[in-house]
Amino acid sequence: MIRVFIFLMVAFASCAAAEADGSWMKKVPPRDHERASPFHEQSEAVAAGKRLFGAHCASCHGENAEGKKKKPALTSERVQQQATEGDIHWLLVNGNMGRGMPSWAKLPDPQLWQLIAYIKSLH
């Protein structure tokens, strides 16, 4: 019984660590991975995305996207260099409730792309 418990705890910890290291990006379908923002580097979109970030994301990811508690920094190399705009869009739409990331599919698609424009501007 103790061995089963230990095995389950190790398996759970491994899964949690895998998600924290960006393994969610492997779940993004190629079609979504290749998507590009229609607002790429547009200053108006970045400003709108900053307002949306303050209203919807800052409570978990920090006012400057530096991360809080166990929520990741969005200024990290993983988000800024490795994740494509399409990857981030997929995550915003689908969420990752196992890691505490809700789906933001209720936001209109242009607002999701504005959020992404802001997040990607933080490099």
Full set of structural domains in the chain with CATH: 24-120 (1.10.760.10)
Question: Does residue 59 contact residue 70 with C-beta atoms inside 8 Å?
Answer: no
Q: Does the reported pTM lie above 0.85?
A: no
Closest CA to 25 of 99, 62, 79: 79
Calculate the alpha carbon distances from 11 to 14, 15, 53, 109 in Å.
Answer: 5, 6, 34, 36
Determine the Cα–Cα distance for residues 62 and 34; give it in Å rounded to an integer: 28
- The model's pLDDT over 65-94, given as tens digits with 9 standing for 90+, comes to 988 888 889 998 989 999 999 999 999 999
Neighbours of 43 (CB within 10 A): 10
Average pLDDT for the chain: 84
